Chain A
Amino acid sequence: MNEIREITTPLTDEIIQSLSCGEMVYITGKVYTARDLAHGRIMVMLDAGEAMPFEFTGNIVFYAGPSPAPPGKCCGSIGPTTAGRMDLHSPTLIAHGLKAMMGKGLRADPVRAAIRAHGGIYFAAIGGVAALMSKSIKSVEIVAFEDLGTEAVRLLEVEKFPAIVAIDSRGCCIYDR
């Protein structure tokens, strides 16, 4: 098997364009979690013209809500939730500069079209291997919506977090094959 490529955030256009669907990668750097309720709030803030809780450019949004960290650990079990539930909002966020997303499962056509139009990328992480994935998390910090519990926006510092390029910047999708 080929050596697995390691990519580091911020993800530049150059890095994004060099990745192809079906490729396995290790991600190192900053990743922000946001799932259903956080997406709802971000959409309301966008409509109101408010500042976003984090910078979109170069960053990866991870559809995830971790389990609580047990004593002595910075993070509990963590893994992707179904990306399709964010499909309604993703094209708008992509139009506002978000380029990289990570979750599990298929995306709707408008999301794929937006990824292609804006040169974005969608990574698939494996669902349900969450104790193993927690080993790749080096620090966790809540940056917004703390009242949402597991659904708060968290900044994760990840090291060698395993993912697969599921939709690349040209719109090629791994699940088509």
Chain B
Amino acid sequence: MREIFVSDIAAKVAELCVRACVEVSPEIRRLMQAARPLDAGLGGQVLEKMLLNQEIAKSERMPICQDTGMVVVFVRIGQDVRIVGGSLDEAITDGVRMGYDKGFLRKSVVEDPIRRVNTGDNAPAIIHYEIVPGDGFHITVSPKGFGSENMSRLVMLVPADGIEGIKNFVLETVIKAHSNACPPIIVGVGIGGSFELSAIMAKKALLRKLGEAHPDPFWAEVEAELLVKINETNIGPAGLGGRLTAMAVHINTYATHIAGLPLAVNLGCHVNRHEEGEL
């Protein structure tokens, strides 16, 4: 049994929240740098502003975007781990509070979806746990902006809709989102499982490292084809036209029922914040 203290978990969550909000991933940065010279129009100028903004945010420790999101946390916890000193849920929530306070991040959470009073500390987080063999403790923090979250969609297709039905729905989602999702976007797709699993798979797909394809060549090809189609829409950076509308399409799949074909599309904006750590 390995023991992990709640205070260490809170500190780690706080650190990851701040880093995710002020530093863009090196993969996003490299991809934008490579795309910049290919686009002489407005889209290219927007990419240049995004790159400059990333530099200012990192050096001045300011959020890349004012919307520092609602925090989605994925915890992978070994079954031989014992959490000591308090509740794991509360430790994560405390970490969010600390990070958002100390990092001067925006508090964007309301207590009730209709009565809408700001909680003032960006808590609570949305926490997903996964129990695995061993004594590891892995945590991913993803402060999710809602410009892109709002443009995400889920549909229960039928098996006869097949791969074409999937492609059409993904493409339609991106076109409807247009500039609201702050392109160039990452497109997270969850296919199969059940209603809720497809959505969680789509969210997890946004966490995959840019440039990594689906391990199954069949799905890797669908990802590549969708990416080309999306970038032919000419929506472009900030929706102002150009070649780079999406930086990646990431698909996750799972077994499903004989009657079903659940499909969820979760959009991530050009900031696509996520950071991970181990304890």
Known: A70-B61, A77-B62, A130-B65. 6 other contacts (CB 8 A): A76-B106, A104-B147, A104-B238, A105-B178, A106-B179, A127-B238
User: How far in angstroms is the closest Cβ of chain A from B61?
Assistant: 7
Does A128 make an interface contact (CB < 8 A)? yes
Supply 20 A–B pairs (Cβ within 8 Å), ascending by A. Answer: A37-B116, A67-B106, A68-B105, A68-B106, A76-B62, A77-B57, A77-B106, A82-B180, A106-B179, A126-B49, A126-B50, A129-B50, A129-B65, A131-B53, A131-B56, A131-B63, A131-B64, A134-B62, A149-B107, A175-B179
Closest to A104 in B: B179
User: Which chain A positions have C-beta within 8 A of B179?
Assistant: 104-106, 124, 127, 175
Query: Interface digits, B61-78 against A, CB 8 Å rule (1 contact, 0 not)?
Result: 111111110000000000
What A residues does B67 contact at CB under 8 A? 65, 79, 81
Query: Which residues of B have CB within 8 Å of A79?
Result: 65-67
Beta-carbon contact of B105 and A67 below 8 Å:
yes
Determine if B106 and A104 form an interchain contact, defined as CB atoms under 8 angstroms apart.
Answer: no
Q: CB within 8 Å of A: which residues of B?
A: 42, 46, 49-50, 52-53, 56-57, 60-68, 104-108, 116, 118, 120, 145, 147, 150, 178-180, 182, 238-241, 269-271
The minimal Cβ–Cβ distance linking B220 to chain A, given in whole angstroms, is 28
CA gap between A13 and B215 in the complex, in Å: 58
Given A131-B60, A132-B53: A66 and B180 interface contact (C-beta under 8 Å): no
Shortest CB-to-CB span from A102 to chain B, Å, is 13
Q: Which residues of B contact A132 (CB under 8 A)?
A: 49, 52-53, 56
Q: Does A164 contact B (CB under 8 A)?
A: yes
* A77 lies within 8 A of B182 (CB): no
A143 at the B interface (CB under 8 A): no
Instruction: Give chain A residues whose Cβ lies under 8 Å from the Cβ of B118.
Output: 148-151
**A174 close to B (CB within 8 Å):** yes
**Chain B residues near A65 (CB, 8 Å)?**
66-67, 106, 108
Chain B residues near A105: list those with CB within 8 A: 178-180, 239
Interface size on A, residues (CB 8 A): 39
| A58 in the interface (beta carbon within 8 A) | no
The CA-CA distance from A66 to B67 in the complex, in Å, is 8
Whole-angstrom distance from the CB of A7 to the nearest CB of chain B?
A: 19
**B180 (CB) vs chain A CBs: closest residue:** A105
Q: Which residues of A contact B107 (CB under 8 A)?
A: 149-150
> Is the pair A150, B240 in contact by a Cβ cutoff of 8 Å?
no
Cα-based distance from A57 to B60 in the complex (angstroms): 36
Given the known A-B contacts A64-B66, A128-B269, A132-B56, are A82 and B147 also in contact in the complex, defined by CB atoms under 8 Å? yes
Nearest Cβ in chain B — how far from A116, in angstroms?
A: 21
Residues of A within 8 A of B116 (CB): 37
Interface status of A84 (Cβ within 8 A of chain B): yes
- Which of A68, A81, A175 has a CB less than 8 Å from the CB of B178? A175
Residue from B49, B57, B60, B180 in contact with A106 in the complex, judged by beta carbons closer than 8 Å = B180
Which residues in B have their C-beta under 8 angstroms from that of A115? none
Q: Which chain A residue has the least Cβ–Cβ distance from B57? A: A131
Residues in A whose Cβ lies below 8 Å from that of B239: 104-105, 124, 175
- Of A64, A130, A174, A177, which contacts B63 at CB under 8 A? A130
| Beta-carbon contact of A130 and B66 below 8 Å | yes
B180 with A104: CB separation less than 8 A = yes
A residues within 8 A CB of B68?
67
**Distance A67 CA – B204 CA, assembled complex (angstroms):** 26
